[in-house]
Amino acid sequence: MERKTDILIIGGGPAGVVSAVTAKKYYPSKNVLVMKDIDDGVIPCGIPYMFATLDNPEENRLGMASLEKNNIDVVIDKAVSLDRKNKTVETSRKDKYSYEKLILAMGSTPIVLPIKGIDKQGVYSIHKEMGYLKRIIHEIKQCKNVLIIGGGFIGVEFADELGKLEGMRVSIVEMLPHLLANSFDEEFSLTAEDKLRKKGVTVLTNVRVDEIIGSEKVEKVRFSNGEEREIDGIILGIGSTPNVELAVNAGLEIGSCKGLLVDEYTRTTLDRDVFAIGDCSCKRDFYTRKAIPVMLASTATSEARIAGANLYKIKVVRENKGTIAVYSTYIDGMVLGSAGLTEKTALEEGFEVVMGSVDGVDKHPASLPGAYKSRIKLIFSKQSGIILGGQISCGMSCAQLINVIGVAIQKRMSFTELETLQVATHPYLTSAPTMFPIVLAAQDAYSKM
């Protein structure tokens, strides 16, 4: 079968869906087609919560209602070759699709480390497919000793979630000195580790898994320090690698982060009719402009809105000026958030910085039910006073603070502007207006100038 469409989008995850809806909004006369190779997808950020919090894994299904509502066609098939000269894509079913504009939103594939025995039964990568996840949820729930390999936010969220299952002993291992080390400074990582340990999770840092031992199924693991532990289930939470094979075979360029190189309008460097967004595209840090391995649905959907708007006409107001990498995670009632540069990263990059921090409570008065200790840290350029990054730990009531910090970074706000920030407050929802944490942290930084 041969089929012609104006806008072809390969990938049906958050980036693909949002870029399709955006494209239809800006170019309503154009036909938009989304091609996805997974019929029954899931919401990526909700995957850990399918194991215990949600009553039914089906509740985390990624629906296509927004595509149907906007009269966007969907086809279930896999793209296997791209001919950029003739603007066609061939699929595994031997069908051919021609396009005017192509958006690659192909996502990523979980990394599998070269650990001896990693191919044994009971070792699970996390794929974004409902049937697969339902199977491993069932099998993991039969385990007594589960190990999570990888101490990033995915691993931490799995540790927190599996810690809710009665009778299961949960461990998490990270080869770096601390959990969440790539996104947080040490004091926040220690807070996360302490929270997990209090929940009964065994936290192992500065060590790696050298071997997975067992006949056909995992029975125990051997660590790099020689220690062995009985384990009957392993979840790999060590990140993903961009899906770029289709694009590379078509002659498109990849960067040092292994994602496709794109400009500020998400156009691939060698073909202005081919755009790349989400996990399969290369990200550049907002301040350093260096390639960074950020794979967040929030970042992907931001890029998707830029791509969808700029397909035929460049909307100058819609451009990617760099990735802030703003994200939050949750551990047993505590929110951790990070945006921009950490203190460690800023110093390694040669920035002269000054920090402002404050400890407080996320409600007022502190005696209100559910009040939670909070901490905020802001990193500023010592010369200009412009914010470079920020981190928070708090309760649910101030979870959106990290998004305020993200906006401040994107608008390059100074400590003076943050010190005079006008905010809404309420006893149940925020710290006191006299003790608003962003304001106090900015004042603390100014006092050190």
Residue 15 lies in a domain: yes
In a domain, 117, yes or no: no
pLDDT in tens, 310-347: 999 987 667 888 999 999 999 999 999 999 999 999 99
Q: Which residue has the higher pLDDT, 226 or 320?
A: 226
HEC profile for the chain? CEEECCEEEECCCHHHHHHHHHHHHHCCCCCEEEEECCCCEECHHHHHHHCCCCCCHHHHECCCHHHHHCCCEEEECCEEEEECCCCEEEECCCCEEECCEEEECCCEEECCCCCECCCCECEECCCCEHHHHHHHHHHHCCCCEEEEECCCHHHHHHHHHHCCCCCCEEEEEECCCCCCCCCCCHHHHHHHHHHHHHCCCEEEECCCEEEEECCCECCEEEECCCCEEECCEEEECCCEEECCHHHHHCCCCECCCCCECECCCCEECCEEEEEECHHHECEEECCCCCEECCCCHHHHHHHHHHHHHCCCCCCCCCCCCCECCCEEEEECCEEEEEEECCHHHHHHCCCCEEEEEEEEECCCCCCCCCCCEEEEEEEEECCCCEEEEEEEEECHHHCCHHHHHHHHHHCCCEHHHHHCCCCCCCCCCCCCHHHCHHHHHHHHHHHCC
Domain count, the chain: 3
Residue at 327 is within a domain: no
Residue-level pLDDT at 47: 96
50, 67, 155, 164, 179 from 169: Cα distances, Å:
18, 42, 15, 10, 19
* 377 occurs within a structural domain: yes
Query: What is the per-residue pLDDT across 380-425, written as a single tens digit (0 to 9) for each?
Result: 999 999 999 999 999 998 889 999 999 999 999 999 999 999 999 9
Residue ending a domain, choose from 201, 217, 238: 238
CATH number for the domain spanning 172: value is 3.50.50.60
For residues 132-158, give the mean pLDDT. 97
User: Would you state the pLDDT for residue 317?
Assistant: 67
Q: Which of 306, 312, 299 is nearest to 265 (CA)?
A: 306
> Same domain, yes or no, for 305 and 337?
no
234-267 tens-digit pLDDT:
999 998 999 999 999 999 999 988 999 999 999 9
Indicate if 132 and 75 belong to the same structural domain: no
Q: At residue 276, what is the residue type?
A: A
What angle, rounded to 10 degrees, do the helices at 297-309 and 14-26 form? 20
Q: What is the pLDDT of residue 320?
A: 87
Q: Are residues 91 and 74 in the same domain?
A: yes
Please tell me whether residues 342 and 435 are part of one structural domain.
yes
42, 104: one domain: yes
Does 82 share its domain with 40? yes
Quote the pLDDT of residue 449. 82
Residue at which a domain ends, from 238, 266, 286: 238
Q: Are residues 256 and 219 in the same domain?
A: no
pLDDT at 319: 81
> Within this chain, do residues 40 and 144 fall inside the same structural domain, yes or no?
no
Q: Residue 224: inside a domain, yes or no?
A: yes
Q: Are residues 338 and 441 in the same domain?
A: yes
> Region 357-371: what's the mean pLDDT?
94
Residue 11 lies in a domain: yes
Residue 128 lies in a domain: yes
Give percent of the chain with pLDDT exceeding 90: 93
- For the ranges 28-42, 257-271, 313-327, 360-374, which has the lowest average pLDDT? 313-327
Full residue range of the structural domain in which residue 207 is found = 123-238
Does the CA dihedral 134-139-142-148 come out positive or negative?
Answer: negative
Same domain for 128 and 220? yes
Task: Assess whether 33 and 101 both reside in one domain.
Answer: yes
CATH number at residue 369: 3.30.390.30
For residue 363, is pLDDT > 80? yes
> CB of 134 within 8 A of CB of 228?
no
The two tokens of residue 139 are 């099998």
Tell me the C-alpha distance between 169 and 347, whole Å.
38
- Strand duo 387-394 + 373-381: pairing: antiparallel
Tell whether 9 and 32 lie within a shared domain: yes
**Of the candidates 238, 269, 298, which is a domain's last residue?**
238
Tell me what the mean pLDDT of segment 219-248 comes to: 96
Domain membership flag for residue 418: yes
In 3D space, the residue among 237, 172, 175, 173 whose CA is nearest the CA of residue 206 turns out to be 175
Q: Residue 153: its pLDDT value, please?
A: 93
71: Cα within 13 Å, side-chain hemisphere:
7
The contacts of residue 43 (CB under 8 Å, 6+ apart) are 14, 60, 61, 62
Q: What is the pLDDT of residue 371?
A: 93
